[in-house]
Chains A and B, each alone.
Chain A
């Protein structure tokens, strides 16, 4: 291990990243995050859907 300090350091980083990824629940998927979605129609007059948003390929939101 001492003969390969860079490889050992690299492996430590891989293990560290893996540990954080598992612990924090990382994923290769990406989701679209929208803040402050109106909770009720009272918060969003003129709309009958509860929030506006977009996800790939489709639009769904207020009318």
Chain B
């Protein structure tokens, strides 16, 4: 907490002359910088003593270009930091080398922070002072600052390239054992060397923040894949979506109740008929005219028979007596029983959609098997009957989005944990809401 009235003293950097090429090396990290790399000849220098010595000569072919150039300055959380160091590290998994970049950023009053980048995924990393609490298990966990982190990956990271300054002794080829524990958007990393374990806490940030901070040109590279601590864009959404689903289902119940209560279910026609297939003569007939009132609505035609080990086929036509428009449909009704098992149904119901009001009659054309005897049947016509299937379809339709959200959440975690040491048991990915 600095007072705005007291100006901070001007800080001057020191310069070194590269013992290899004579080039000038700016030391921005002051006495904190223990290693510096000449940008001209890629000599790794030990700057911890006044007598600067060459530790290593990096091959020119290993040179990488930092996405955030050394010397870039920008404000992070109100503090101006300068990029002073850059290294590329890599791990080899099943013969495949995965590389990421690390930047050292420095403020003379606040010290060091680190920025990492892997395939467009950026993290701002801070050293952790307190030792996290370790929990053994099939998937070990650590607790830090009240937050639980799940073990993600153990690997041996190798330094592939270095440039600029570092507050520790470093050279290409150096290896450390690294353990990552994730709790998006954070990742807790333990780096183990022969003599110490260093913990650091990374927080996932968008590349656009880095670009804005250091005023870089163009756009940051788009992230590829899912990163260890990348926040799940659907985290927390499934529970919210299911809460909303409950609300919608309640609304659906109200709507259902409204239509069930207000539907007229008007019985407009009811007539009993006898059908004897063996009889000679015309079997088809027309019913008396009946009136369908009200708005355009459905018409339910029910057929109730006394069929027993028998069948009847009914060709129906609902004909508007005024316009001559006919709506044709056919029904097959059969019922068989041997005393224990039954097959078929004696009764049938069919819904004719959107029938305008008017005067109608039915043309009925029955058919049957003359050897199987006669059948008595009732024809019942009802108007404006609520269709329960639509309510069930609506409930199912409302369920689809929450299921999609759950799948997307789960899939995101699956992709994340596929890259971990626990990829075969990706079901243990857990919810990182």
Which A residues have a C-beta under 8 Å from some C-beta of B? 1, 3-4, 6-8, 10-11, 14-15, 17-19, 21-29, 31-39, 49-51, 53-58, 60
Most chain A beta carbons < 10 A, residue from B237, B248, B252, B350: B248
Given contact pairs A1-B247, A11-B244, A28-B389, a sample of 13 additional A-B residue pairs in the complex whose CB atoms are under 8 Å apart? A3-B240, A7-B244, A11-B248, A18-B390, A19-B255, A25-B298, A26-B354, A26-B387, A29-B329, A33-B327, A34-B326, A37-B319, A56-B330
**Is A58 within 8 A of B240, CB to CB?**
no
CB contacts (< 8 Å) of B15 on chain A: these are none
| C-alpha spacing A10/B387, complex, angstroms | 21
| C-alpha spacing A55/B367, complex, angstroms | 14
For residue B386, CB closer than 8 A to chain A, the reply is yes
Partner of B328, one of A38, A39, A55: A55
| C-alpha spacing A1/B247, complex, angstroms | 10
Partner of A58, one of B313, B325, B394: B313
Given A7-B244, A31-B352, A36-B315 contact (CB < 8 Å): no
Interchain Cβ contacts under 8 Å between A and B, 19 examples:
A21-B387, A22-B263, A22-B386, A24-B295, A25-B384, A26-B298, A26-B387, A29-B350, A32-B329, A34-B317, A36-B324, A39-B324, A50-B363, A51-B319, A54-B328, A55-B315, A55-B329, A57-B330, A58-B315
**Shortest Cβ gap from B329 to chain A (Å):** 5
Could you give, for residues 122-161 of chain B, a 1 whenever the CB lies within 8 Å of some chain A CB and a 0 otherwise?
0000000000000000000000000000000000000000
Partner of B352, one of A29, A39, A49: A29
**Is A34 within 8 A of B325, CB to CB?**
yes
Given A31-B353, A32-B327, A53-B317 contact (CB < 8 Å): yes
**Is A33 within 8 A of B296, CB to CB?**
no
**Is A15 within 8 A of B244, CB to CB?**
no
Tell me the nearest residue of chain A to B383, going by C-beta.
A25
| C-alpha spacing A43/B319, complex, angstroms | 15
**Is B353 within 8 A of A25, CB to CB?**
yes
| C-alpha spacing A33/B392, complex, angstroms | 28
**Is A51 within 8 A of B387, CB to CB?**
no
CB contacts (< 8 Å) of B107 on chain A: these are none
**Shortest Cβ gap from B247 to chain A (Å):** 8
Tell me the nearest residue of chain A to B284, going by C-beta.
A49
| C-alpha spacing A23/B386, complex, angstroms | 9
CB contacts (< 8 Å) of B237 on chain A: these are 3-4
Which B residues have a C-beta under 8 Å from some C-beta of A? 237, 240-241, 244, 247-248, 251-252, 255, 259, 263, 284, 286, 295-299, 313, 315-319, 321, 324-330, 350-355, 363, 365, 367, 384, 386-387, 389-391, 394, 397-398, 401-402
**Is B354 within 8 A of A14, CB to CB?**
no
| C-alpha spacing A29/B299, complex, angstroms | 11
Partner of A14, one of B318, B326, B355, B398: B398
Tell me the nearest residue of chain B to A6, going by C-beta.
B401
Given A7-B401, A21-B390, A28-B389, A34-B353 contact (CB < 8 Å): no
CB contacts (< 8 Å) of A14 on chain B: these are 248, 394, 397-398
Given A26-B353, A26-B354, A31-B329, A60-B324 contact (CB < 8 Å): no
**Shortest Cβ gap from A4 to chain B (Å):** 6
**Is A24 within 8 A of B328, CB to CB?**
no
**Is B324 within 8 A of A53, CB to CB?**
no
| C-alpha spacing A10/B244, complex, angstroms | 12
Given A7-B241, A29-B353, A31-B328, A22-B284 contact (CB < 8 Å): no
| C-alpha spacing A54/B328, complex, angstroms | 7
Tell me the nearest residue of chain A to B298, going by C-beta.
A25
| C-alpha spacing A13/B358, complex, angstroms | 31
| C-alpha spacing A54/B315, complex, angstroms | 9
CB contacts (< 8 Å) of B318 on chain A: these are 31
Given A1-B244, A28-B389, A56-B330, A33-B255 contact (CB < 8 Å): no
**Is B394 within 8 A of A18, CB to CB?**
yes
| C-alpha spacing A30/B350, complex, angstroms | 10
Partner of B398, one of A11, A32, A53: A11
CB contacts (< 8 Å) of A15 on chain B: these are 251-252, 255, 394
Partner of A51, one of B255, B295, B298, B317: B317
Most chain A beta carbons < 10 A, residue from B299, B328, B352, B363: B328
**Shortest Cβ gap from A24 to chain B (Å):** 5
CB contacts (< 8 Å) of B330 on chain A: these are 55-58
Tell me the nearest residue of chain A to B316, going by C-beta.
A55
